Structure 1
């Protein structure tokens, strides 16, 4: 009697699947329904999987050069943030110097305060040391950023796979290893993504608060501040006296201007922070002269893989900027993405850092994600895997095979 019962049960299940297939919109699969049921969980899952791929490749290359993975993940700027988190700005050990090998009492003020503050808060809560807390902050921020990017993508394309592809492309981009390091890329992208969500969904308080905090993370927040504040001002003029948008416009620059003002007071100069950057890290506005010279040198000599790929990535970013402007996506997205590219182009500094400065500009990848989503499944998967593997390899190489700062 058990076999007929099982057969009847299977027939009922088959009938249920047939009825669901008939009632489903065309092109909607069970996998799509699952993603829509738990969208943020899938977004975080994709991000974590891509970042694990990058960490595995980094561990392999680091092992080949007899370096500890944990030490690599907190190198360069990471050491500075950990020193600030552990000692405060006034007590950073003297061994920490700027890119020119110099050190003044105000040198640590080049680094913005929110990330080291979060490290200091998380470390005692988790019972971990500062380095572990820093990596944990980056991981959590990366997951929050993935959720925000998915939310932004839904405004552009309601298909879940487009958003998941955008997350994979962002998380697997060349130099995206910084999302898993004691660096600020993950934290800043999380705040930028949710600020843009606030703009797109007219949640002006969310946009203003996220932008204000982003201004305490890194100087590239100036592009985000300009984008969000402009969008809020436009909303005020179009919709009349919308108090939330007015608050957003006022709130957006508070973090960035507040930190610059604090550094100005500490240094006794209105341009204090900019002076520290110029003298210590050779970073200043030059209208793109250094970028042009850098490109010319690479085209002429092709000195290294790091330099050549960095040049190609910047060129690709310019091309993608043109594509997103012509793709008819909401203007705050292309203004933020394109503005980030423009800042990278016209700012002098450590040229090898240009690739990682582009990581928070995730809207640039929207045309690529859309294009992949329109391809056959096997083509989409193969292309995404190839992209992630290349990005992960280049990221690992930049930290283990390249000897200069990123």
Structure 2
């Protein structure tokens, strides 16, 4: 595995100018998706805004913001859907927006998601630009924008907020800002259960940095810090900073999980019982494999099954390519943990594409291909995917939508 990239980050104003093409392209793709959604919804006599802010998980986040924790729904089959399953950072931000403006909690969720999606796009660009260069950074952002489930980035969901925190935490690791990386990982851990992926990335990078430094010292190299991963070029990374970042990183996830266990009286892992009430858990992918296998019992559904197999194979292939291309360790750890948790969850199979959305390093091999192609060809591919994604997003939300 290669060492982390150790170039210093550009000044903030220069970084924004450098990211401007990616952010403008991202905004254009999202605007296209929203326009198609508005037109499609109007044709079906539905409200596009309601689809974005007041259905599925968005309703649960609003209930947390409005009522606090403790709301639950008991289903006829005995299952208990508790709002304790939803991590608190997005509802907190919804409350904040509602407190300082005339907007409702649902409006606040929409505003937070729009702002967070731009922050996520900038963070993805920063990471890809740092590792592979500006063109690859632009292509990575646009690929993330044109994902078939990209419309979720504009919904009052937590995916955009989490991806923004994860991307900037990873960038902080790559540029040696360990305390910032840990603080952002803490916030990511208050956003979604998969915040453990960011924690794992911070810890893996810090441990690798310590190991590389010790090896350098044992080899008697006077410049041991300059070549060690995790610090700006020419300056040894601070052990205290790394340790502080490692200590901060897990506090968000651990704090909320322990609080849920205390509140429910079910012990430190009580959050797992809450998830079990939603029939969700980690089973190593057994339930998902059975779900895919069932698709092959008849011809029409076999096509969907083949598509699922191809999709999973593509994800695994992209990860393998990232390993072969020697992506920095924290990127591989983050995308690996996100992918593992998404594919091995025991329920909500239709949600897996959006659960994979924060694993943006998976897109970097494709971004490199597009960056190396002729600009006209890359623009054509991305433009086509943007149209397909916009149409699919409108169709999806006006149909079954994300559960």
| Structure 2 residue matching 1:285: 3-state secondary structure | coil
1:85 to 61, 65, 76: 65
Q: Does structure 2 conserve the Cα–Cα contact (< 8 Å) formed by 1:314 and 1:355?
A: no
Equivalence for 1:178: 152
For residues 265 and 380 of structure 1, what CA distance do their matches in structure 2 show? 52
RMSD: 2.3
User: Which protein has the larger Cα radius of gyration, Structure 1 or Structure 2?
Assistant: 1
For residues 100 and 65 of structure 1, what CA distance do their matches in structure 2 show? 33
For residues 180 and 97 of structure 1, what CA distance do their matches in structure 2 show? 30
Equivalence for 1:220: 194
**How many angstroms does 1:235 deviate by?**
1.9
Equivalence for 1:266: 263
Q: Does structure 2 conserve the Cα–Cα contact (< 8 Å) formed by 1:233 and 1:249?
A: no
After superposition, the C-alpha distances for 1:68-122 in whole angstroms (9 at most, x for unaligned) are 00110021000110111122113x4x6x567978547xx1111000000001001
1:178-217 map, 5 Å? 178-217=152-191
Q: Work out the number of aligned pairs and report it.
A: 364
Q: Does structure 1 conserve the Cα–Cα contact (< 8 Å) formed by 2:182 and 2:244?
A: yes
**How many angstroms does 1:311 deviate by?**
5.2
Equivalence for 1:65: 44
Q: Does structure 2 conserve the Cα–Cα contact (< 8 Å) formed by 1:220 and 1:340?
A: yes
After superposition, the C-alpha distances for 1:254-278 in whole angstroms (9 at most, x for unaligned) are 0000000000001112321111111
**More divergent stretch after superposition (268-277 vs 361-370):** 268-277
For residues 110 and 305 of structure 2, what CA distance do their matches in structure 1 show? 27
For residues 356 and 238 of structure 1, what CA distance do their matches in structure 2 show? 36
Residue 136 (str. 1) matches residue 111 (str. 2): yes
**How many angstroms does 1:388 deviate by?**
1.9
Q: Does structure 1 conserve the Cα–Cα contact (< 8 Å) formed by 2:201 and 2:329?
A: no
After superposition, the C-alpha distances for 1:310-365 in whole angstroms (9 at most, x for unaligned) are 55433321221111111122121122112211222222111000000011111100
Equivalence for 1:108: 83
Relative to 1, partners in 2 of residues 1:72 and 1:306: Cα closer, same or farther, differing over 3 Å? farther
**More divergent stretch after superposition (65-74 vs 302-311):** 302-311
1:167 to 94, 116, 141: 141
Relative to 1, partners in 2 of residues 1:73 and 1:100: Cα closer, same or farther, differing over 3 Å? farther
Relative to 1, partners in 2 of residues 1:145 and 1:306: Cα closer, same or farther, differing over 3 Å? farther
Relative to 1, partners in 2 of residues 1:318 and 1:102: Cα closer, same or farther, differing over 3 Å? same
**How many angstroms does 1:297 deviate by?**
2.1
TM-score, normalization by structure 1: 0.84
Query: What residue ranges of structure 1 are gaps of 5+ in the alignment?
Result: 1-34
Equivalence for 2:248: 251
TM-score, normalization by structure 2: 0.84
After superposition, the C-alpha distances for 1:215-240 in whole angstroms (9 at most, x for unaligned) are 00001111221111121122233336
Q: Does structure 2 conserve the Cα–Cα contact (< 8 Å) formed by 1:212 and 1:253?
A: yes
Equivalence for 2:336: 338
For residues 305 and 172 of structure 1, what CA distance do their matches in structure 2 show? 23
2:394 to 362, 375, 396: 396
| Structure 2 residue matching 1:284: 3-state secondary structure | coil
Q: Does structure 1 conserve the Cα–Cα contact (< 8 Å) formed by 2:149 and 2:354?
A: yes
Equivalence for 2:323: 325
For residues 36 and 250 of structure 1, what CA distance do their matches in structure 2 show? 29
